[in-house]
Amino acid sequence: MRTNIIKPILLIAFTSLAMSACDKGGEPAIPVEQELITTVKLLITDNAGFNKTFAYKVENGLGATTPGAITKDDVLLSPNKEYNVEVQLWNDGANPADNITEEVISESNAHLFLFESTPAALLTFVNGSKDAANMPFNQRIVFKTGEAGGGELSVVLKHNPTNKAAQTTADAGGETDVDVSFHIKLQ
């Protein structure tokens, strides 16, 4: 009588083990790096017909097993002039390339572009564009160039900055979405 209980137990054991072994998963999913930005472009124009685009590009952005190659243009401008600058953000990993700029503009009150040059006298930044609440957003801005010389220009995009009126990244708080650095020459 008792051994009769054991046999069905053993039977169930091996059947369910066999069944579970046959239950294979479906097609593996493809991961996508979220909200990837690979390229920062500076579209620079002036009133005298100057019109150039300078790009900073990381081949595969973030999230890949190997860091991607970085290509960047040197920004060549003339001294003592004013330039209109527009920043664009692209995901070149997508096909066709995805323009992220519109997305950031639509969330302008949660974003802030910040520019800094070293040496500081190289460039000054004025007339930045505003968000809906009339706080700085700076996606469009004017560069005033100083005396001839060379240095670095950093472009930073902050998400949810705690201080929207900040002039420097250190004061802005929030999370960094973009932090790139161009070589700049005024000649």
Partner 1 sequence: MHRARWALAIMLSLAAGYVRAQSPCRLTLAGSVVETHNFEPVYPAVVYIDEINRSFDADESGKFHVDSLCAGRYTVHVHTAGYDHFDVLLDIANDTTVRLRLAHEAHMLSQVEVRQERIPTIIQSKEQMDKTAIAANSGKTLGDMLQSVNGVNAMSTGPTIAKPVIHGLHSNRIVTLNNGIRQEDQQWGGEHAPNIDPFLANNITVIKGAASVRYGTDAIGGVVLVEPAPLPSKPGTSGELNLAGFSNNRMGVASAMVEHNFKNVPELSMRLQGTFKKGGNYRVPGYWVDNTGVEERNYSAAAGWRKPHYGAEVFYSHFDTELGIYTGSHTGNLKDLEAAIHSSVPLVPAGFTYDIGRPKQDVEHDLFKAKLYADNRQGVWNLIYSYQHNFRQEYDIVRKDDGRAQLNLTLNTQTLNLNLDHKAIGGVKGQIGVDGIYQTNNFQNGDRLFIPTYNSLGGAAYLIERYSKNNWTLEAGVRYDNRSYEMFNAEGPSQQIIRYAFNYNSASATLGFRQQLKPNWQWSATLANAWRAPQANELFSAGFHHGAARIELGNKNLRPERSYNLNLETEYTRKKLSAEVSLYGQYIRDYIFLEPGADVLTIRGYFKTFHYRQTNAFLYGSDVSVGYKWTEHFTSTAKLSLLRARDLSANDWLILMPADRASLNVRYGFEMGEVLQECYVALNARYIAEQVRIPSNFDAIDYPRPPAAYFVPDAEAGTRLLLGKQPIYVSVAVTNMFNVKYRDYLDAFRYFIDQPGRNVVLRLRMPFSFIKDQTN
Residues that bind partner 1 (CB under 8 A): 2-3, 5-6, 9-10, 12-13, 16-17, 20-21, 23-26, 28-35, 37-40, 56, 58, 60-65, 67, 70, 100, 103-104, 107, 110-111, 158-160, 162, 169-170, 173-180
Tell me the C-alpha distance between 61 and 11, whole Å: 54
R_g over Cα of the chain:
27
Q: Which is nearer to partner 1, 76 or 166 (CB)?
A: 166
CB of 48 to partner 1, least distance (A): 32
* DSSP summary character for residue 177: E
Query: How many beta carbons lie within 10 A of that of residue 61, not counting itself?
Result: 18
Q: Which is nearer to partner 1, 136 or 174 (CB)?
A: 174
| Choice between 56 and 125, CB closer to partner 1 | 56
Q: What is the identity of the amino acid at 137?
A: F
Query: Residue 82 Cβ, how far from partner 1 at the closest point, in Å?
Result: 28
Tell the smallest beta-carbon distance from residue 4 to partner 1 (Å): 9
Minimum CB separation of residue 70 from partner 1 in Å reads 7
User: Rounded to 5 degrees, what angle do the CA atoms 48, 54, 57 make?
Assistant: 170
Nearest approach in angstroms of CB 102 to partner 1 is 10
Confirm if 97 and 91 have CB atoms less than 8 A apart: yes
Which residue number, 29 or 133, has a Cβ lying nearer to partner 1? Answer: 29
- Tell me which long-range contacts 169-174 makes (C-beta under 8 A, separation of at least 24): 169/114, 169/116, 172/112, 172/114, 174/112
Closer to partner 1 at the Cβ: 58 or 186? Answer: 58
